[in-house]
Amino acid sequence: MSALEDALTANRETTSRFLATARALAKEKWAEPIAPGKRSPAQIVDHLAVSAEVQLKAILGDKSMGSIPGFLRPLPRALIFKPVIKKGVFPEKTRAPAIFDSSKEHLSYDFSAARLERAIADLESHVRQMAKSGKDAFDHGFFGRLSIVDYLRFNTLHTAHHEKQLR
């Protein structure tokens, strides 16, 4: 299997495990924060759906998510992106930028899970189209030039981080 197929499979499987963990939570815990000042499980599922949608927008070059000047991009890539990939773990106490915020509401599991699954399928479909056309990297508005495989790994680690919070 290629590195891209491995990354796509890992991302899909991690998302499935996350959703199974979320579905297994007691209904009365769905809208309760997992800890004081933290998101609820409902908001975490929504946050991951938003994150996957933003990830696709980044790959597509959508400028609506913002960016920083090109000469500054090596800094967040070196301080945020590369350590996550190298260590294979998402940092515990990191606050996501506002673009990744979940709904303030506690949406139903079925609604949020469907949104997340749709976002992952859309991402996977587009990445496969890129691979067919020979593209294996893209310019991210904050991190600069990234391989798609590493960006998928970043998303997989992010999902695993949030699954751990739900356990």
Residue-by-residue DSSP string for the chain:
--HHHHHHHHHHHHHHHHHHHHHTS-GGGTTS-SSTTS--HHHHHHHHHHHHHHHHHHHHT-GGG----GGGTHHHIIIIIHHHHHHTS--SS-PPPGGGPPPSS---HHHHHHHHHHHHHHHHHHHHHHHHTT--EEEETTTEEEEHHHHHHHHHHHHHHHHHHH-
pTM: 0.90
Query: Is residue 95 pLDDT above 90, yes or no?
Result: no
Residue range 124-162, pLDDT digits in tens: 999 999 999 999 999 999 999 999 999 999 999 999 999
